[in-house]
A and B are shown apart, each in its own frame.
Chain A
Amino acid sequence: MSAKANKITHDNCGRSGADFKSVAELKNRCILVTGGTGFVGKWITEMVCFLNAEHKLNIKLYLLARDTESFKTEVPHLAKNPCVNLIQQDVRHLSEMPKDVNYVINAAGSPDRREHASKPLSTIDTFYKGTNSILEECFRLPGLHKILHLSSNFIYGNLNSDKIKETDMGTLDSNSINATYGEIKRLTETLCAVYGNQQHLPIVVVRPFGFVGPYQKLDKPWAITSFVRDAIHGGPIKILGNEAAQRSYLYGSDLAFWLLKLLVKGKDDSVYNVGSSHCVSLKELAEKIKNIVDKKMEIVNRTSKEVYHHTSKSVPDISLITKHAHVEETFTLQEALESTIAWNKLMKR
């Protein structure tokens, strides 16, 4: 990793975490992140390292993952930080968690839909057993304050809402392999509800939407990662499917700070959407990326239909998290894209 790339992510945290006093409660506390070496884990680590370095919060971090070795290779500047402790374990078969853990963020399991399609049984197994195992272990933690369980916007199924509220609920075609991820995430939410009710665990459920930023691998099967990859490779940018589909993207450092805020401000047994409320069509998104990288770049749309009778929209209503945790988006989409592209160009060198 180049020093310049690290400076980008560090500076990003400074901007997203400007309201650091709002997470002062985390001072001298210990957070464990399962699935800690993925996109979410890396950004939380980046943010915690920033808060410790710049504001002396002295937060201790445990990152639990199946493969911690790649974390050391990919982000040595984070892996070497004294506040970071790596635990290599399969979340389905946890042995005892460190007893000093006060907060748990359960981000284990891949959101990569290719994996869900290719290995649906393993997906179900990992999310169900993993969540169950984590909640069982949490029950034994003496100083536990909060568990943040990361669910997914996929649990909403097919909705026609303009902006999706936490109380909206669409349908999932359960008799389809495509329902694997949405259905298992629904089940993990129910598990959380059961543990909250029966064991009185302090659980907050988070439903993440779309994100963008450094540490997001460009081979992921999402429009934004494909567009950035296409653009960095010189184009054309390929829009696959309905170019009018609406999405929204929250920047990685904002995501990290929002999650830390929820550890402090999130109300037990509540569910919060986490994502940007600013919607953008895929066509507009491709145009923005093109204009950042090369205004002459071609954009092509490969689509099965001339006319779409339904345009998918996946944009959250974030009034609840805004009300309870006073979060704000500190990066516009334009700034998020510029920063992401600059970081990826540095990493490509």
Chain B
Amino acid sequence: MKHIVIHDPTLRDGNHAVAHQLSAKQIDIYTKAAEKAGIPVVEVGHGNGLGASSLQVGEALESDVVLLETARKNLKNSKLSIHCIPGFATIKRDLERAISIGVDVVRVASHCTEADITQRHIAYSREKGKDTYGVLMMSHMASVKLLVEEAQKMELYGAEGIIIMDSSGNYLPEDVRERISALVNGLGVPVGFHGHNNLGMAVANSIAALEAGAKMLDATSRGFGAGAGNTQLEVLIAVMHRLGYKTGIDLYKVLDASDIAEKDIMPKVPTINSESIVSGLSGVFSGFAKHVSRISKEYKVDPRDVYFELGKRKVVAGQEDLIIEVVMELVKIRDNK
């Protein structure tokens, strides 16, 4: 039976869904439940990762230190993981401190065509003996060849595995199969997949990834995450059990964890609404959802038009300030009519 490592970013990607307002108490509650369920890796932090709390992408309720120390206290067998985008996270200010708090897993992420920026962070984390992975975000924006080359760079830098993110929930299973197969063939280290559910394909895409050779999957309780949410953890585990994959996760306890998450962590369970469908179709980062929704409402423009325009501009995470620019242009066009 094939063993698959599940990474659970409920407390990181989920932070996008609540404008980064997860509290220490909520971290405490969920990490206890995750530990009980035997989830191997639990990722915690601001939605955009370590050091990202800012006016530009949203200020977090709690500091990285509070988030990580709270989680660390409860995670004994489960590993504590962070999402780390160089630029937001500096080595000296952020990574060094996170490692001193006791982080076990460092996932160094970049836009899918910018792996070069991850070299120093990956090297630092490896040097400190941490499990270190490379993450390529918005992976639908790179050709398969380019994606493999960027992943190979991360492998050279020392990444022990590469995870591709379908950050806008744009993929269909065949897209995932093609990319994961190419990565498995082109890399020596394990490959993982992080899905989003904008087109309702997150679980199916994750299974396609497994069939193509992925050894790691990301999933969150009730799919708690940016936009339409992530691959729903408890559903994924149930499906994987049925398919005969081994995860080491207790099904009943992960169901309990997701019930707890729904009750205590999320104001509302993520759903696939019209905006998230358009976000998926246009290939726009799911983390933009709240900003697009708010600004479109404020200026009375159709958020679907905003998504398609952002998609045309190939915006990436961190370019949230372009939303207002696009909205203002749409306003100008409307007013000129």
Contacts and interface: CB of A to CB of B under 8 A. Distances in A.
Interface of A: 113-114, 117-118, 176-178, 219, 221, 226, 229-230, 233-234, 238, 240-242, 302-305
A226 B158 contact: yes
B264 interface: no
Question: Chain B, interface size: which category?
Answer: 20 to 34
Interface string B149-192: 10011011110110000000000000000000001100111110
B119 interface: yes
A230 B127 CA distance: 8
B129 interface: yes
A241 B155 CA distance: 10
A302 B213 contact: no
B119 A118 contact: yes
Interface in B110-159: 116, 119, 123, 126-127, 129, 149, 152-153, 155-158
A221 B156 contact: yes
B161 A302 contact: yes
B215 interface: yes
Contacts of B149: 176-178
A240 B189 contact: yes
A349 B315 CA distance: 48
B190 A302 contact: yes
B116 A304 contact: no
Contacts of A303: 188-190
A303 B156 CA distance: 14
A113 B158 contact: no
B215 A304 contact: yes
Nearest to B187: A304
B300 to A, nearest CB: 46
A222 to B, nearest CB: 10
A242 B129 contact: no
A234 B129 contact: yes
Contacts of B116: 117-118
Contact of A241 (B129, B189, B215): B189
Given A178-B152, A240-B155, 14 more contacts: A114-B119, A117-B152, A118-B116, A176-B149, A219-B126, A221-B156, A226-B126, A226-B158, A240-B160, A241-B187, A242-B188, A303-B190, A304-B189, A305-B184
Contact of B213 (A118, A242, A304): A304
B156 A113 contact: yes
Given A302-B190, A303-B189, A303-B190, A238 B160 contact: yes
A241 B190 CA distance: 8
A122 to B, nearest CB: 12
A113 B149 CA distance: 13
23 contacts: A114-B119, A114-B153, A114-B157, A117-B153, A118-B116, A118-B153, A177-B149, A178-B152, A219-B123, A219-B127, A221-B158, A226-B126, A226-B158, A234-B129, A240-B160, A302-B160, A302-B161, A303-B188, A303-B189, A304-B183, A304-B184, A304-B187, A304-B213
A241 B160 CA distance: 9
A255 B276 CA distance: 61
A216 to B, nearest CB: 15
Contacts of A242: 188
A117 B154 CA distance: 9
Contact of B188 (A219, A233, A241): A241
A238 B160 CA distance: 8
A339 B48 CA distance: 45
B87 to A, nearest CB: 16
A167 B5 CA distance: 45
B188 A304 contact: yes
Interface string B178-209: 00000110011111000000000000000000
Contacts of B156: 113-114, 117, 221
